[in-house]
Structure 1
Amino acid sequence: MPARAGLTRAVEGLDQTGATGQVNVVEERPLTIFLNSREIVTAMTIGDYPEYLALGFLRNQGMLSDDETVTGIEYDEDLDVVIIRTETETNYEEKLSKKTRTSGCAVGTVFGDIMEGLEGLTLPDATLRTSWLYTLSAKINQTPSLYLEAGAIHGTVLCKGDQPLVYMEDVGRHNAVDKIAGWMRAEGVSGADKILYTTGRLTSEMVIKTALMGIPILASRSGFTAWGVEIAQQIDLTLIGRMRGKRFTCLSGADRLIWDADVNAAADEDPRHRRKSARA
């Protein structure tokens, strides 16, 4: 999905030799999300796709069920406010009173019980060919992005087989995932046969959100947290991390893997991504 203009700005500075130069830096702005007349949260975001971010955030927090009718989405660019309107008013005082700050960049927030919705959850049957991982990595690395332009950003990609479908970016990986969730809900897209790829760490929050989106496979170029792995194992979510060049590590759900790729034939990682990883 192409990025909107105005997401970065050029800033003049000095390099290690004292020479003057310009670098592109990512813009950051607040976005306040309302559900009907109730203010829910103010999130720091890059400002693109605010409607998808608001819709996905509410859906992933359990404040907007899949069968609830959304009657309107209003975005005020001047006020940086999104209002999601539903057919019926719902009281979320109990959920709003319980906040958990997550490890997400730009300070992620989870409302209510962080494990709510996982009890009895059964993820769809799926297969994951290792050749898809190498193909996806190469395609995503070659996609024009804010990550390549300015760093300091996380990307999340919804994929099917070896094809990227939707690419979202934001200063917080949780925001990028919520944008994907919002797009899926708006377009009526199922997660059953999808793969979610992220540049961010595989934390408990990332695992939980992926599972609640009905996606059975989560992959990342970054590493794991112990709780993220533990939850993935409990719900049988396939968890692939440290996916760079020829390498990857699977710590959960390996039964979905089909080992059809020749590792020696896989391409090495684009050097631009190695440099950006050190600075992001």
Structure 2
Amino acid sequence: MDLPQIVKRRILRYENGVTEQREVEVVTEYALTVFVDGQEFVTLVCTPSDLEDLVIGFLASEGVLTSYEEIRSLTLSEEDGVAYVRLVTPVTIDPQMFGKRYIASCCGKGRQSFYFYQDAALAKPVEVAPVIAPRQIVSLIERMQRASDLFRTTGGVHNASLCTVDQVLLSRFDIGRHNALDKLYGYQIREKWTSDKLVIAFSGRISSEVLLKVAKMGIGIVLSKSAPTALALQIADDLQLTTVGFVRRGAFSVYTHPERVQLL
């Protein structure tokens, strides 16, 4: 079953004092409820593509699983909007654990980073990552943007790509920026891709939650055409992630761990 990712709609367009009717394409939203070992875990509002990878990546980022081999079965009912996951070792979902805030003092300097409990357990410092040149940074963001026909058509999705320093390996898109990353993470887990040579290219704002997802993937460099938040940069400092933002028109800003960027 191929779920529609766009619908056509008649609109009124006003521009330079002129109003006209047009037919445009609008991105769709899809609700997917995930059950783990018979327990309802979450409902994800997403773009209806790469749903299996979305489920796997989300569960991995939440600490429910760490490898593809831990899944006994994953069944999608696209018509009903439901995913059923059975694990080799069944788990009991503790609602007090998933979503509970954990306060960690970072680097012994008296600062505090705010993580979910599972983030504190899963997001570890990334010690091995490639070195990237300025021309490669600019090129990867440009290639990521060209990879999404849906964004060019609708303007309504976020884009994310798994890359080496020289090429884009895999691109995913979604109405939710976290979902786009989870789709990449799910594919990475299924295909057992190692992370030490990988880079994330991303279209959206680098929030603390986005940064933590990248850290959980074990990837040490994140590039974005948008801005980071202060908390994201604090976490990037602590977790040894290189954060590059505002990659636009041949320019960019390096916020954290610049030793991985060949600026000289």
The interval holding the TM-score normalised by the smaller chain is 0.7 to 0.9
Alignment of 1:60-209 (within 5 A): 60-66=61-67, 69-95=70-96, 98=99, 112-113=116-117, 115-117=119-121, 121-209=125-213
Following the alignment from structure 2 to structure 1, what is the Cα–Cα distance between the partners of residues 96 and 179? 19
* 1:6 alignment partner in structure 2: 4
* 1:250 alignment partner in structure 2: 254
Following the alignment from structure 1 to structure 2, what is the Cα–Cα distance between the partners of residues 157 and 122? 19
- SS state at 1:175 partner: helix
5+ residue gaps, structure 2, are: 102-114
Alignment of 1:228-239 (within 5 A): 228-239=232-243
TM-score by length of 1: 0.82
* 2:110 alignment partner in structure 1: none
1:241 aligns with 2:241: no
- SS state at 1:13 partner: strand
- SS state at 2:233 partner: helix
Q: Deviations over 1:132-160 (max 9, x none)?
A: 11221332233242111101210111101
2:144–2:201 CA contact under 8 A, matched in 1: no
1:24 aligns with 2:25: yes
* 2:58 alignment partner in structure 1: 57
AA aligned opposite 2:164? K
Shift of 1:91: 1.8
Following the alignment from structure 2 to structure 1, what is the Cα–Cα distance between the partners of residues 207 and 68? 28
- SS state at 1:152 partner: coil
Shift of 1:95: 5.0
Q: Structure 1 residues 159, 13: CA separation in 2 closer, same or farther (over 3 Å shift)?
A: same
Q: Deviations over 1:92-151 (max 9, x none)?
A: 215555357xxxxxxxxxx94264136753432421122211221332233242111101
Following the alignment from structure 1 to structure 2, what is the Cα–Cα distance between the partners of residues 158 and 38? 32
- SS state at 2:234 partner: helix
Following the alignment from structure 1 to structure 2, what is the Cα–Cα distance between the partners of residues 235 and 23? 43
1:213 aligns with 2:206: no
AA aligned opposite 1:200? G
- SS state at 2:228 partner: coil
AA aligned opposite 1:35? V
Following the alignment from structure 2 to structure 1, what is the Cα–Cα distance between the partners of residues 145 and 124? 36
TM-score by length of 2: 0.87
2:41–2:93 CA contact under 8 A, matched in 1: no
- SS state at 1:140 partner: helix
Q: Structure 1 residues 114, 201: CA separation in 2 closer, same or farther (over 3 Å shift)?
A: farther
- SS state at 1:258 partner: coil
Q: Structure 1 residues 52, 119: CA separation in 2 closer, same or farther (over 3 Å shift)?
A: closer
Following the alignment from structure 2 to structure 1, what is the Cα–Cα distance between the partners of residues 70 and 20? 57
Following the alignment from structure 1 to structure 2, what is the Cα–Cα distance between the partners of residues 76 and 126? 40
